[in-house]
Amino acid sequence: MKCTNKKKISGFAAAIAALAFLITGCGGSSYDMPYDPDINVTSFNVVARHDSGAAKPFAADLCVVSSDVAGSGGVNLEQAEAALLLGIDDNRVLYAKNAHERLHPASLTKVMTALVALKYGRLEQVLTATDSVKITESGAQLLGLKPGDTMTLDQALRIMLIYSANDVAMLVAEGVGGTVDHFVEMMNQEALQLGATNTAFANPHGLTQDGHYTTAYDLYLIFNEAIKYETFREIIQMSGYQTTYYDSSGKEKTVDKKTTNLFIRGDSHPPAGVTVIGGKTGTTSKAGHCLMLLSKDVSGASYISIILKSDDSLYDEMTELLGEI
């Protein structure tokens, strides 16, 4: 007679019981899910829910540039280091040159400054200048602010974008961010949220500084977001601006400035069939001549065009680029 290990038998039986529990549940009862599309919790709705949907891709409403695009009209931008022409209604890339090359953006930086200010500031808030408005870089465009001068954020944005005043950019940054350094952090955070991952801002105005760079494509992402704000779109179309602000003693100071954008001033002209709506200029010795525009064709379709690090032929090159439209 063969002996049997009772402990082994009991262990085996326990395993079989556990397996039966996992398959059938307590007491061996079966819990079926009816295959019925009219019942909320059914096999049918687990497989094909009525409210199912796919997540929207990040770039679903954006132009995507992976390489240079020559264009169809024989565009030859010899002087520009980087350039883009994008159809923003149909996300079409009409021209691209070195779109992802990191370059200094000069005062095109102020588009991000305006975007952050519009997003987090209030147009009616009063800004007061401190010593931060003292800028010593040779050739820097300045309004001439003094510590104690006051103006609203609305006034400051118009002067900053139209006349490209660097001291006013510092006023905006400190007034909205609490400190200039914190505002620059806000700019960089906004850039990341927009997908502008080849961008690092070191100041709110775009004057020459180490570690301050972006790309033509990242500027497109920033500009494309900024034009969603009605105030921004209104400002970039203006040919000039007149206003009054106050010094520390309450004395009025008058501003009367023309735009730095020669297309808006009427000193340069786009190709036939193209209307320049507005944009932003930028020039420093390191960045060269830069220009970013919002334009429309005869059917009303919108385009963003960007040229970075050109020379005195900037407007001729931009006119040639717009000819691709």
Catalytic positions, written as ranges: 107, 110, 164
Given strand 240-246, what is the order of strands in its sheet?
126-128, 150-152, 240-246, 252-258
Unique residue bearing structure tokens 């001729």: 316
Cα–Cα dist 313/319, whole Å: 10
Query: What one-character-per-residue DSSP string does 24-57 give?
Result: H-GGG--------TTSSSSHHHHHS-TT--PPPP
Contact 172, 179 (CB under 8 A): no
Q: Tell me the longest C-alpha to C-alpha distance in the chain.
A: 117
Question: From CA 226, how far away is CA 43, in angstroms rounded?
Answer: 47
Q: What is the DSSP string of 130-166?
A: -GGG----TT-------TT-EEEHHHHHHHHHHT--H
